[in-house]
């Protein structure tokens, strides 16, 4: 009898309801094959919960999830729900309560997924974004409102603990990949926080003899994602820079429909959260045409984090093969429905 995991599932809104069952079905098929079990705890939280109670999460929602091994999220948000309600009512409380200080976003050009990259350029990058401090702080304010000398001030907070733990995670990941780590900086223009980031990153990576650290100005790095993607492998970045770079990398890889993301508490003191990068996509919700790859891949990232790397490899190989053989959803120029695609992956997993 293999390991057993408890996972909270929040399908959420819109296409979250369609792609999440695709992910759980694939994980269940892998559980049989790789001898582990998953107990899913279904959570009907999100916009409907907000409409009936005024909250995205129940008052004790975080407590209810605290003993889970992981959280699998579809998407939350709807046209009539303000964006900040989704963010501050669900995503940020989960991130903070469970100290998910790493946002991990792999982006890869996949056979069968058209990329805007020129020629036969390929991308296979993992962006490691600092997820709880940095530029997104509440410190600052608006002053002298309406006066000619009106001003706004926004502080960024970087701590030694915060920078060293995100860089350590990225350096560890680099040792498992090519050994090349790029750190995004802007220490020529941002003269207090960014030199500190560079210094702590350098000291931390020095503990990893197999890793070479290259610090690159974020503007030049953005250009490199497009012009020389194969020169990049693992990229570590602050909250703001990582946000921008990971969206850029996802766009370069081809489609939002194939971009997964993990919000990690690497020490596993608390559950980590796995989700597609895309939102609830109200424009296509309920039509059965959503691309389930991002959600399925997020399920694979969850399995890797839970200690089932072979199952994760099996899953990535399976959806990669289905894409490569030409089964594609509409966003990728194909005609397959969400369930057509998922069934093709399941058929491979059950072979």
265 is an interface residue for ligand ATP by CB under 6 A: no
Nearer to Mg ion, 282 or 309 (CB): 282
Give least dist CB 331 to Mg ion, A. 15
Q: Which does 283 bind (CB under 5 to 8 A by kind): ligand ATP, Mg ion, none?
A: ligand ATP
Nearer to ligand ATP, 256 or 321 (CB): 256
283 is an interface residue for ligand ATP by CB under 6 A: yes
The whole-angstrom separation of Cα 24 and Cα 296 is 8
Find the binder of ligand ATP among 65, 181, 284, 312 (CB under 6 A): 284
- Touching ligand ATP, residues 64-93 (CB under 6 A): 75, 77
- Touching ligand ATP, residues 165-224 (CB under 6 A): none
The residue nearest Mg ion at its CB is 279
The whole-angstrom separation of Cα 259 and Cα 265 is 20
Q: What is the dihedral of CA 204, 182, 137, 193, to 10 degrees?
A: 70
Cβ(90)–Cβ(56) below 8 Å: yes
Q: Which does 218 bind (CB under 5 to 8 A by kind): Mg ion, ligand ATP, none?
A: none
The whole-angstrom separation of Cα 197 and Cα 76 is 33
Give least dist CB 35 to ligand ATP, A. 30
- Joined together, the tokens standing for residue 264 give 């990690």
Q: What is the dihedral of CA 265, 181, 261, 24, to 10 degrees?
A: -80
Give least dist CB 8 to ligand ATP, A. 20
Strand (E) positions, the chain? 4-12, 37-42, 70-75, 102-108, 124-130, 140-143, 151-154, 180-185, 212-217, 234-237, 260-264, 272-276
- Joined together, the tokens standing for residue 27 give 């994980």
- Touching ligand ATP, residues 285-314 (CB under 6 A): 290-291, 294
Residues at the site binding ligand ATP, with contacts judged by CB under 6 A: 15, 19, 75, 77, 256-257, 278-281, 283-284, 290-291, 294, 331
């Amino acid at each position: 009898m293999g390991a057993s995991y408890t996972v909270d599932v929040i399908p959420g809104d819109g296409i979250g309801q369609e792609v999440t069952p695709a992910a759980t079905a694939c994980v269940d098929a892998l559980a049989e094959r790789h001898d582990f079990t998953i107990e899913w705890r279904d959570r009907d939280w999100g916009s409907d919960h907000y409409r009936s109670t005024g909250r995205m999460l129940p008052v004790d929602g975080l407590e209810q999830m605290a003993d889970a091994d992981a959280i699998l999220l579809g998407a939350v948000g709807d046209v009539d729900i303000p964006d900040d309600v989704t963010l501050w009512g669900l995503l940020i409380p989960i991130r903070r309560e469970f100290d998910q200080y790493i946002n991990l976003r792999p982006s890869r050009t996949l056979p069968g997924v058209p990329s805007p990259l020129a020629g036969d350029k390929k991308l296979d990058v993992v962006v490691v974004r600092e997820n709880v401090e940095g530029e997104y702080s509440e410190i600052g304010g608006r002053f002298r409102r309406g006066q000619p000398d009106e001003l706004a001030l926004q502080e960024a907070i970087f701590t030694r603990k915060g920078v060293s733990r995100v860089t350590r995670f990225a350096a560890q990941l680099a040792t498992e990949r090519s050994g090349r780590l790029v750190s995004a900086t802007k220490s020529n223009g941002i003269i207090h926080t960014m030199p500190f980031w560079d210094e702590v990153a350098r000291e931390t990576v020095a503990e990893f003899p197999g890793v070479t650290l290259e610090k690159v100005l974020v503007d030049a790095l953005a250009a490199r994602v497009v012009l020389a993607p194969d020169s990049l492998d693992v990229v570590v970045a602050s909250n703001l820079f990582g946000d921008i770079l990971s969206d850029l990398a996802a766009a370069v890889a081809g489609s939002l429909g194939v971009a997964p993301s993990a919000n990690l508490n690497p020490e596993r003191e608390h559950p980590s959260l796995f989700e597609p990068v895309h939102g609830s996509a109200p424009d296509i919700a309920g039509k059965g045409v959503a691309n389930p790859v991002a959600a399925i891949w997020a399920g694979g990232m969850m399995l890797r984090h839970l200690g089932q790397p072979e199952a994760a490899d099996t899953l990535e190989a399976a959806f990669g093969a289905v894409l490569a053989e030409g089964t594609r959803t509409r966003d990728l120029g194909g005609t397959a429905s969400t369930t057509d695609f998922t069934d093709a992956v399941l058929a491979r997993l059950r072979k």
